[in-house]
Amino acid sequence: MFLKENEEFLKDYLELFISRFIHSSLTLNPTFGDIDDAQNIFRLYDQTCALKKLFSILFFEKRDLTLEDIIDTANIVNRNALYISNGYRKIGKTFANTKKAITPPEMIPLEMERLLQTYETEWKELPILEKVTKFHHRFLAIHPFEDGNGRVARMILSFQLLKEGLNPFLLTKEQFQKYHESLYYDREDDLLLLFQEQYEKERQYVELWLQKRKEEKGRSL
């Protein structure tokens, strides 16, 4: 995809994407209140650090994500969250205040190891959007951390797409209900459709921005 072929543009795009991602991520969680609330200053900073860590692994260290990387990302996201333990979740067997089952704490390390292995083997040849959708759905079904699972999952999604040379994409408040219902009711096909729609929107956004930059550069010559 053209992002890999335009390194200067990619750097500028990622800086803007991080800002857009963090803003949309906060608006997806209604418990965070107004984005200008004081507590959100810490969330903005922590999520920015977490996302930049993942991009550093991808573009500077040039390697795949490990389980340790994913745990470190969650720890950064939850750094200023009160009463949230580091590492994998050690309590809880249902999602929030619902009856939907999530992976028991003692099974999380094994299930996370299986997830990464399945992503690289059984799902390896799948179309990339289908592959990342399966990972996203399974990750949130495991629900490996006490908090921040959705934010970490969407950061990993961005990493996975960029690794394939594809543009990442955003989810906003307008997709909140569809996104969460797809996950809660295990509607993977609906989740894939949502991801395809948002990917295409972002692809068009990137193409228009890149074309505009080329035209501006041409006028300056």
Q: Which CATH number is 28's domain given?
A: 1.10.3290.10
Read off the pTM. 0.93
Number of H helices, E strands in the chain: 8, 0
What are the backbone angles phi and psi of residue 166, rounded to the nearest 5°? Answer: -105, 155
pLDDT digits (tens, 9 = 90+) for 7-58: 778 888 999 999 999 988 878 876 766 666 767 788 889 999 999 999 999 9
What is the average pLDDT value for the chain, to the nearest integer?
91
Find out whether 108 and 93 touch, Cβ atoms under 8 Å: no
CA angle 143, 81, 31 (to 5 degrees): 75
Considering the chain, what percentage of its residues have pLDDT values greater than 90? Answer: 71
Q: With respect to residue 1, please indicate whether it lies within any of the assigned structural domains.
A: no
Confidence band of 3 (pLDDT split at 50, 70, 90): low
Q: With respect to residue 37, please indicate whether it lies within any of the assigned structural domains.
A: yes
Backbone conformation region of residue 179, classed left if phi is above 0, alpha if psi is from -120 to 50, else beta? alpha
Domain of residue 158: give its range. Answer: 7-220
Find out whether 54 and 158 touch, Cβ atoms under 8 Å: yes
Q: With respect to residue 95, please indicate whether it lies within any of the assigned structural domains.
A: yes
Q: With respect to residue 2, please indicate whether it lies within any of the assigned structural domains.
A: no
Q: How many domains does the chain have?
A: 1
Q: With respect to residue 145, please indicate whether it lies within any of the assigned structural domains.
A: yes
pLDDT digits (tens, 9 = 90+) for 13-25: 999 999 999 988 8
- In what helix (H) or strand (E) does residue 73 lie, and over which residues does it extend? helix 67-77
